[in-house]
Structure 1
Amino acid sequence: MSGVTMWTGREAGLLRKAMRKTGKAFADLVGVNPRQIPRWEGRGETIELGLDNQAALDTLLAQADPLVQQRFAALLTERAAAEHDERAEELLRNDPHTRRHPVDGKVMTLVEEGIYLSGPANRSVWLDSFMIDVYPTTNEDYAKFVLATGHRPPQHWPGGNCPVTLATHPVVWVTWHDATAYARWAGKALPTARQWEKAARGPRGRIYPWGNEPTAAKANVAEAGIDATTPVSRYQSGVSPYGVFDMCGNVWEWCSTEETAGSSRYELKGSAFTSPFERCTPSLQNAANATMKDNDTGFRCAAAA
C-alpha cells in the first residue's frame, strides 16, 4: 500500500491496532520508550512525530503483513468515509436545495434558473434550473455501478476491487464513455460545460468558486505538492456559491459538451492535482478524445430539476 504522508499520534495508534500489538510491544518495534505510545495516541493529530519516528513507522508499515496493511488502510479510511457521510447529511439537513439521488445515493444540489456570467469575457447566458452532484463521483460510488452492471472496473483497482484507501477519492482512469455509462445507469447525465461552469462560479462570474482571490491552498492543484487525488470533501473552504466541492483541482471532469460538433472530443472542466493553479479557473476551456483516460480525470453528474 502507499505510505502515510505525515505520521501523527492518530496514524501511529491505528497502525498499533492493525498489528494487534500492546503498547509495549509496539514501542519495541518502533524503538521508543513504551511511555511514548499512550502519549502519542492521547494527543492524536495534535502531535506530529519526529523524523526518526516517521521513518521507523514508514519501515514498519512497508514490512508489515498484507493483512495488517489491509486492516490499517480500512481503519485509516473509516473516519474519512464517516466525515464524508456526516458532511453530506449536514448538507441535507441544512440546505433546502439539496436532496439524495434515489439510484446512486449521491447528494445533489439545485442550481436555479437564470442568467450567469460565462467564459473569460463574462458573457450573459441563460440556463434552466438543474441539479448537480455536490461531490465528484468517488471510487465507492463507481463500485456500486460496476457491481450492478458488470461494467469494467478502472485499471487502478487491484484485482478489479475498489481500494479501501481510495473509497472517498474521485474515481479516475475513466473515459467519457465510462462516465456516460455511469450517468445513464444512475438516471442522470453528464453536465454540459455551461451547467458545470455555472455550478462552479455562481451567477455573478466569480473567477474561482470561492471568489476572486487566487488562493491555491483552497484546491488540490500541483502547487499543493500532494501529487495524488484527495477525499472529495476535503476542501471545504473552496466550495462554490452553490456548495459544490472540488470545482477546482483534484480531477478534471468530463462534460457532455463536444468541443466541436461530430469531433468525438468532449470538454473537461476543473483542472486536477497535476495542473498548475493557473489552469484551475472554471471558465478555462479544455477537451479530450472520448476514449482518453488518465489518473487525473473523473466526472460528476447532473439531472433535471
Structure 2
Amino acid sequence: MAIFTPAGAARVPVKGRIAAAEALGKAGDPRLVEGVEGLWVPLDGATFTLGAQRENREAANYDPDAGNNETPRRITVAPFRLARRPVTVAEFARFIDDGGCRDRRWWREDRLGEEESPKEWDEQAYYFPNHPVTGASWFEANAYCAWLTERRRRLGEIDAGERIRLPREEEWEWAARGAGLRCYPWGDQEATEGRLNFGREVARPTPVGIYPGGHTPEDLEDMAGNVWEWCVNEYRAPERTGTEGNAPRVLRGGSWLSHRRGTRCEARNGLFPFNRLGDVGFRVLWSPPSPRRRETLATESSVPPSSLPRRVGRVSAA
C-alpha cells in the first residue's frame, strides 16, 4: 500500500505503480471494500469566483490558459462531502449485481433499459476493478447515485433528507481549487507525469489513487487527469441542474487524453448525456438536506438533524 503514499510513490516509477495497483485490484483492493472508512472528504461551503479569464492580468482569476467557456462568476456553495476518488469498476459492479440497470426506481422513465452496463464492461470488470469506471453515460451515473442513496439509507449510513448525487460544477471546482484558488488540485506547480495521468503518457485509465503527488491538500484523489467527471449542470446553461432534456452536460477534471491546460481546475468540457466514452467517469457527492428540508426534519423528529463535520479545507475539446 506504500505506492498510495507520497513517500512510497516517489520511490516507484509510474509504470511500476500501475502494475502493482492493478495486481492489488485483482487480488482484492482493501480501499474499495464497502463501508470502509475514509471514502468521504468533508468540505466547508464558501462564496468564491468560479472560472478564469485571460483578458485582464490585473483582474481576479487571471489565467493565460483560460478558455472561452470559463467565464468567471461569483457563486456560493453549501458544505458537502465529496467522494475521495472516482467511482471504481468494483463499486459500479455492486449496482449492476443488484439489478440496478433494470430497476425503474433509479432511472428517468425514457432511459430505462437503454443501458445494461457501461461500454466494454466485461473487460473492465475482469481486468480493472480498481480503475475508475468508464463508458457510463450521464444517465447511468445518475441512476447509480439514486441506487446508492437508497442503499446507504437502508444501511443507516445517511439520514433522511440527505442524498448522494453528482456534483454541481461549482462544487466540483471549489473542491479542486480550495480557498487558495489553486490552478491545479495540488497547487500552482506545473502538471507532470508524476502527478497525474494525462497527455497520453499512459494511453489509458489508471488505478485510482496512484498519483498521491496530485492529491488536493484535503486528500481528494484524481481530481486532475485519468477520467473526465460528469457534473449535473447543463454545459451551455450551467444554472440548469435538472434531469430533464438531453442537452450536453458539464465534464470536469481532464483525462488521460487531455493536454495540460485541460487538467486545470477551471477547465470545462461538455458531452451529450447519452454518450459513453473511454475517458469519462464520475465521482459522487453526499449532499445534506436543504435548509427548508432540514427545518422540516427537525420538526418531525426529536433527534436533531446531522450536520457535516467542518473542515477547511465533449462539446469543446481540451
User: TM-score, structure 2 length as denominator?
Assistant: 0.62
Aligned to 1:133: 83
Alpha-carbon deviation of 1:277? 1.4
Aligned to 1:301: 284
Do the aligned residues in 1 keep the contact of 2:184 with 2:264 (CA within 8 Å)? yes
Choose the corresponding residue for 1:155, options 105, 112, 119. 119
Choose the corresponding residue for 2:225, options 223, 239, 249. 249
Choose the corresponding residue for 2:167, options 188, 191, 194. 191
Choose the corresponding residue for 2:199, options 209, 222, 238. 222
Relative to structure 2, which stretch is displaced further, 203-212 or 254-263? 254-263
Matched, 1:275 2:258: yes
Alpha-carbon RMSD across the aligned residues, in angstroms, is: 2.8
Aligned to 1:284: 267
Please identify which structure carries the higher helix content. 1
Aligned to 1:211: 187
Alpha-carbon deviation of 1:192? 0.1
Letter paired with 2:44: E
Alpha-carbon distance in structure 2 between the residues aligned to 1:275 and 1:189: 25
Alpha-carbon deviation of 1:270? 0.4
Do the aligned residues in 2 keep the contact of 1:190 with 1:254 (CA within 8 Å)? yes
Q: Percent identity?
A: 28
Aligned to 2:3: none
Matched, 1:182 2:132: no
Alpha-carbon deviation of 1:85? 5.2
Alpha-carbon distance in structure 2 between the residues aligned to 1:282 and 1:235: 16
Alpha-carbon deviation of 1:293? 1.0
Alpha-carbon distance in structure 2 between the residues aligned to 1:269 and 1:192: 10
Choose the corresponding residue for 1:265, options 248, 257, 263. 248
2:165 is paired with a residue of what secondary structure? coil
Letter paired with 1:125: I
Do the aligned residues in 2 keep the contact of 1:155 with 1:173 (CA within 8 Å)? yes
Matched, 1:169 2:146: no
Q: Residues 120 and 79 from structure 1, CA distance in 2 versus in 1: closer, same or farther, beyond 3 angstroms?
A: farther
- Which structure is higher in RCO with an 8 Å CA cutoff and minimum separation 6? 2
Q: 1:211-233, CA deviations, whole angstroms, 9 ceiling, x for partnerless residues?
A: 0111222110015x200111111
Choose the corresponding residue for 2:41, options 109, 112, 136. 109
1:140 is paired with a residue of what secondary structure? helix
Do the aligned residues in 1 keep the contact of 2:22 with 2:128 (CA within 8 Å)? no
Alpha-carbon distance in structure 2 between the residues aligned to 1:211 and 1:299: 22
Q: Residues 285 and 140 from structure 1, CA distance in 2 versus in 1: closer, same or farther, beyond 3 angstroms?
A: same
Q: 1:75-121, CA deviations, whole angstroms, 9 ceiling, x for partnerless residues?
A: 55346724x459x96xx4xxxxx5xxxxxxxx111111222342114
Alpha-carbon distance in structure 2 between the residues aligned to 1:169 and 1:146: 16
Unaligned runs of 5+ residues in structure 1 are 1-44, 49-72, 93-97, 99-106
Q: Residues 75 and 127 from structure 1, CA distance in 2 versus in 1: closer, same or farther, beyond 3 angstroms?
A: closer
Alpha-carbon distance in structure 2 between the residues aligned to 1:117 and 1:213: 21
Aligned to 2:51: 119
Alpha-carbon distance in structure 1 between the residues aligned to 2:29 and 2:120: 20
1:186 is paired with a residue of what secondary structure? helix
Bigger radius of gyration among the two: 1
Q: Residues 212 and 81 from structure 1, CA distance in 2 versus in 1: closer, same or farther, beyond 3 angstroms?
A: same
2:85 is paired with a residue of what secondary structure? coil
